[in-house]
Structures are given as C-alpha cells and as structure tokens.
C-alpha cells in the first residue's frame, strides 16, 4: 500500500503519485489496501506508539470505520502481541454510549494485527483545548464539567467490568456533535487497560513494576509501579479537569523524571493561582481528585461526577442570588422625583424634601411630611425624572466639530490643488508638451519603481504625473492630475491581473489550496528554491503551514502592476504586502513582508510563473 504524505489518502502499490495533488506517495511495505477482504483503507488518520490508525470502509456494509494497525516488529514480542489481543477482548466487553465500540479484530499476513473500531466524526479533547486557548484562553467551568461528566460515565462502565484504563489523557477523549446538535463524548484506546480478572496465562503482561501511561497524567501509584485500581483513573481525570480549567497540567516539565517526582512528592498548586473567579467548592473537588493517597480520593467516577455537578450548581446559585439581590436593590432604591408645574394638573413646583414625600422625625419630635392618607387624596401629578445628559451633549458637539473640520480640510485641499494646477499651467507652454515625452513609446507602463523619468521639452513625466523643471512652478499633486491615456490592451490586462490576484489571495486566506495552486503555471520560479513544479509548490506550502495549530494570512491590494511584452507574450509584475500570524502550542509568530509575483498570459489565462520576496 502507498499513501500520500500531503493529503494522507491511501492507494494501491502501482500509484506512485497522488491522484488528487500529484505528490509522490510513500510505500508501506506488506500492508494491503484491502484487509481481510472486507475493509478498504482510505486515509491515514494518525501514528500511534505501536502502530497507525486509518480511516476505512467496510465494503459489504459500506460503513466507515477506524482501523488500528499494530506493526509486525512489535508483535514479534509475545508480551506486546498478547497485550494487543487483550485490548480487543477488554474493549469488546464494553457497551456504553461514552465508549468507542469495537467491531472486529484479527491478524495480518505480515505478522501484524488490526482492530476495527467505531469511526468518530469529531475532534479530540486536545484539539478542543487548543481551540479554546486560541479564542478565550480557558474553558468555562460548566462546559468542562459537562464534558468530564460523560467521560466519568464511560469510565464507570469500564470499572464495573473490572477494566482500568491507565492512560486517560485529552488525546484519548473524542467529542462528536450529533445531528441534534448535542455533544457526545467518548473514551477510546484501552490498549494498556489492566484486567482485574486476568487469566493465569497472561499474568505479568501488565507487570506491576512497569510504568505504563503518559507521564503528565499518570497517578503516583503508577509512577512507582504499585497496584492500581479505579482511583488511579480518577487521579488522571483530575489532571485532565485541572488542565481544562487552567490551561496547564499541575505537574508539567520537559524532564520525565522530574514529572514523576512531582507526582509523588509535590502538592498541586491551587487553581485560583492561574485563574481567578473559580468557586472554592469546585477547586476543592479537583484537589481531592489529585490527592496523593488513593484513600483520600473519590471512591468512584460516578461520585466524582456528582460532586463536580453539585459544585457547579452551587456556584451558579450563588451568582443568581447575588444578581437577584442587586436587581432588588436597584428597583427599591428611593428615587428623587421632581414635580413640574403644569396648567392641566395645577400642581405647583415642590422641593425634593417637601412635605408628603417622607415622614422624617425632627429634633423636636415633630415629623416632616403628611400622613399617607392625606397623600392619597391629592390630585394626580406628573412625575418626570431628570437624567444627566452632559456626556451625551459633549459627545454630540465633538462629533459635529470633527465632521466640520474634516469637510473643511477636504475643501481647502481641493482649493489649493486647483490653485497650484493653475499656477503650473501658466508656467508651461501647453498641455501638448506634457504628453510628448511618452508619445514615442505608447506601450510603456511606468510604475513608481521604474528606472527613471522620461524627459520632455519643459519638464519630465514620471508615474503619469507632469513634473516641472527645477526652478519652475510647484509640482502638481498626483491625486489632482489625470493619468495619460493608456492603450486599451494595458487597461484590460490590468483588470484581468487584479482579478486573478484577488482570487489567488482569497483562496490562500480560506485555505483552499486546490484553487490557490490552480493559478500557478506548470513550472514556477519559487523564492530561493529555483524552478519547481506546481505540485512541489503546493507540497511546500502545505508542509510549512501544516506544522502549526492555526494560522491567518492577510494580503493588501497590489501596490504596483507593471505590464510588459516579453517574446511576444504579455507579462505582469505585481507587488503587494502580506502579513501572517502563526500559532503552535503557546507560541505566536507574527511577521510581514513585501512580495512580488510575475504572471504570464497563456492559453488558460494569466498564470503565475514566479513568486519571490522583495524584503521583510
């Protein structure tokens, strides 16, 4: 079997180039495209520690599946082969909505093995955390608890069957959106699960003295190779929740030994140190799950999920009570009405502390105000609240002054330009002299980066703008001087080049590399790499941008378009500026540069024959 290293599609042994992007394919020796006569491999999904995962189709049922392939060199070891066999038997026992289903299992002719699983059309929790970090920085507590509650439900089902996962991490949690727009969370990869009811023949396969798992997420008892149970998975769930809420694991380090020692000896830092606003109850639940002593953790995944939900509900209830109290205070706060005299009601103006508003005792024991009964017998009044409008009035005045200044500046600039143009015209012999310089060569198109101006009798013409000789009248601004008449073919060609440039840019910004590459010629002078084919250019672009978690590109409108005739063919140089923002993990790379592409008019239209960078 061969697969494309760009789009990862799978082909037969005879396909040396990808049928979609013409990239050279990579040979995977002794792996058939059709496995066991039933499953046809379509695309490589990911590489794992002991093998690879492919997207495949069950040919008889026409159902998409995921197939995990274990390489033959690993199966040469009896312990590893038995571990893979145990993964299939352990996972096949589990039937739960939050656990990836296992459909089939078998061995390959080359000595490898395969495991057929449910195909999840979604994203991993690791990808969700990266997306959340790029947008908001940290995940909302209610969403984090909603995701982890489903993980706990699946893990609890495995624990009831006597299966311990032992490698829980965000990469082994998938999030799928159903047709009802409901998120379904699934746990996968029970490849290192430990069966409590092991058979005598497989004793020692998961040796208690062997550290199995991912260092950042394993429990202290796993670090020392001790006996593990369901509480070990609860510790890993606590680490995952810690990362979801704070954006970092509690014991992160580039040294694996240092990570293991911190799991054993160092208490986790409070979540409030990295994120303000978390409730104390939720923080205590997470720290309890991360207890060093298994006896101090939650006894089951269900208990862990219930405590998490209770902590979130308590936090939301406190917020609602505060909001309700604030609203009540605002509504019942005594306002200061002002009674305005009106001819209809006959009510006269009264002060804010006038009689009838409040019954306040004085020092002499008297009261200010009238009884409530007397107030009810009064004629109706108009109640008008005066609200300060000073800021609004100031903003309106500033806006009006800004508009007046802007229009005044435009009028003054136009007046000065007309005055300068009149003065320049009076110093020259006539308009015919200004056009005489370029009359001998009508096909020439000058840009601001041209070799030099063309001299005339009374001055020079450059960039389509008449410039008097030194010592003459002032130079007329370019924005107020009409360009010289250009040949019709140049005007039409400039429009076509701008249209091609716009489509080329939009395709790159959207990530539509197929359309983006369609604007290149068969061979392109590409930066410092020399002559490359269109497929090689696409492979290089995808390889560079594929190494980042996310990226964004921005292009400006062409600053210059220089048209010319080369060997009877039309060519155009387009100068533009571009910016990029590249993100990988927590690093952000921002840059900008000025680029130059050269297009040639071919039978298929304008095609890019050169792409270079002028300067950064």
Q: Which of 136, 23, 28, 118 is CA-nearest to residue 68? A: 118
The b/e string for 429-458 (b: 16+ C-beta within 10 A; e otherwise) is: eeeeebebbbeeeeeebbeeeeeeebebeb
Burial of residue 195 (number of CB atoms within 10 Å: 0-12, 13-18, 19+): middle
Q: Is 577 an active-site residue?
A: no
- 126: tokens are 């690791």
Listed residue (145, 97, 153, 187) closest to 307, CA to CA: 145
Structure tokens that stand for 493 in this block: 């060609």
Vertex 541: Cα angle to 540 and 543 (nearest 5) = 65
Classify residue 459 by its DSSP letter.
E
Strands 10-11 and 338-339: unpaired
Question: What is the C-alpha to C-alpha distance for residues 546 and 467, in angstroms, rounded to an integer?
Answer: 51
User: For the chain, what is the radius of gyration of the CA atoms?
Assistant: 38
SS3 588: strand
Residue in 13, 21, 167, 549 annotated catalytic: 167
Query: What is the Cα–Cα distance from 38 to 56, expressed in whole angstroms?
Result: 10
Q: What string of H, E and C letters represents the secondary structure of 26-76?
A: EECCCCCCEECCCEEEEEEEEECCCEEEEEEEECCCCEEEEEEEECHHHHC
DSSP 172: G
Tell the burial category of 498 from Cβ atoms under 10 Å away from its Cβ (0-12, 13-18, 19+): middle
Name the helix (H) or strand (E) containing 124.
Answer: strand 122-124
Q: Name which of 519, 522, 615, 527 is nearest 575 in CA terms.
A: 615
Distance CA 162, CA 172 (A): 19
**CA nearest 221: which of 304, 300, 295?**
295
353 neighbors 337 (Cβ within 8 angstroms) = no
- DSSP letter for each residue of 307-354: HHHHHHHHHHHHHHHHHHHHHHHHHHSPP--EEPP-TTT-PPPB-TT-
Q: Which helix (H) or strand (E) holds 414?
A: helix 390-427
Which residue reads 């893990």 in tokens? 155
Q: Which two tokens stand for residue 55?
A: 């997207």
CB 51: neighbour CB atoms within 10 A?
21
Distances (CA, A) of 166 to 144, 199, 264, 362: 21, 19, 17, 77
- Contact, 153 vs 96, CB < 8 A? yes
Which residues are annotated as catalytic? 167
């Amino acid at each position: 079997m061969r697969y494309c290293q760009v789009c990862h599609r799978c082909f037969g042994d005879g396909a040396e180039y990808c049928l979609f992007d013409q990239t050279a394919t990579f040979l995977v020796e002794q792996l058939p495209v059709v496995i066991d006569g039933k499953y046809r491999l379509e695309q490589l999904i990911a590489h794992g520690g002991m093998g690879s995962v492919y997207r495949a189709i069950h040919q008889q049922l026409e159902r998409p599946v995921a197939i995990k392939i274990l390489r033959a060199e690993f199966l040469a070891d009896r312990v590893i082969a038995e571990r893979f066999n145990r993964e299939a038997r352990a996972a096949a026992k589990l039937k739960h909505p939050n656990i990836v289903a296992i459909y089939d299992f078998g061995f390959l002719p080359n000595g490898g093995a395969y495991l057929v699983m449910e195909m999840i059309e979604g994203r991993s929790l690791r990808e969700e955390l990266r997306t959340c970090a790029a947008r908001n920085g940290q995940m909302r507590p209610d969403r984090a608890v909603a995701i982890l509650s489903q993980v706990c439900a699946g893990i609890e089902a495995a624990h009831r069957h006597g299966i311990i996962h032992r490698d829980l991490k965000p990469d082994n949690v998938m999030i799928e959106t159903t047709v009802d727009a409901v998120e379904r969370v699934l746990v996968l990869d029970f490849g290192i699960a430990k069966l409590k009811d092991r058979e005598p023949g497989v004793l020692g396969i998961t040796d208690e003295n062997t550290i199995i798992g991912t260092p950042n997420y394993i429990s202290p008892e796993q670090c020392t190779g001790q006996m593990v149970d369901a509480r070990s998975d609860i510790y890993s769930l606590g680490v995952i929740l810690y990362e979801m809420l704070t954006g970092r694991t509690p014991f992160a380090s580039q040294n694996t030994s240092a990570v293991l020692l911190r799991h054993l000896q160092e208490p986790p830092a409070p979540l409030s140190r990295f994120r303000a606003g978390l409730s104390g109850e939720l923080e205590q639940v997470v720290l309890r799950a991360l207890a060093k002593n298994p006896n101090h953790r939650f006894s089951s995944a269900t208990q862990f999920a219930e405590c998490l939900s209770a902590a979130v509900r308590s936090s939301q209830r406190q917020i609602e009570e505060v909001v309700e109290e604030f609203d009540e205070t605002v509504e019942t706060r005594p306002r200061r009405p002002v009674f305005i005299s009106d001819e209809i009601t006959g009510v006269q103006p009264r002060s804010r502390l006038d009689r009838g508003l409040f019954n306040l005792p004085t020092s002499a024991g008297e009261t200010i105000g009238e009884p409530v009964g007397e107030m009810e017998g009064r004629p109706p009044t108009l109640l008008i609240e005066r609200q300060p409008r000073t800021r609004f009035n100031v903003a309106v005045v500033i806006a009006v002054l800004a508009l007046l200044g802007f229009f005044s500046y435009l009028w003054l600039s136009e007046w000065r330009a007309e005055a300068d143009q009149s003065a320049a015209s009076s110093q020259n012999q006539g308009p015919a002299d200004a056009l005489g310089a370029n009359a001998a060569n009508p096909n020439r198109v000058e840009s601001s980066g041209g070799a030099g101006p063309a001299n005339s009798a009374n001055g020079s013409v450059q960039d389509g703008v008449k410039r008097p000789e030194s010592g003459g009248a002032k130079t007329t601004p370019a924005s107020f001087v009409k360009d010289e008449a250009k040949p019709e073919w140049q005007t039409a060609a400039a429009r076509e080049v701008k249209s091609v440039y716009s489509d080329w840019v939009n395709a790159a910004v959207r990530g539509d590399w197929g359309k983006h590459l369609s604007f290149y010629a068969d061979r392109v002078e590409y930066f410092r790499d020399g002559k490359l084919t269109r497929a090689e250019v696409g492979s290089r672009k995808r390889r560079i941008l594929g190494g980042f978690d996310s990226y964004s590109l921005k292009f400006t409108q062409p600053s210059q378009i220089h048209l010319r005739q080369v060997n009877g063919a039309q060519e155009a140089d387009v100068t533009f500026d571009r910016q990029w923002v590249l993100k990988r993990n927590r690093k952000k790379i921002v840059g900008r540069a000025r680029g130059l592409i050269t297009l040639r008019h071919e039978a298929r239209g304008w095609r890019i024959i050169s792409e270079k960078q002028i300067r950064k």
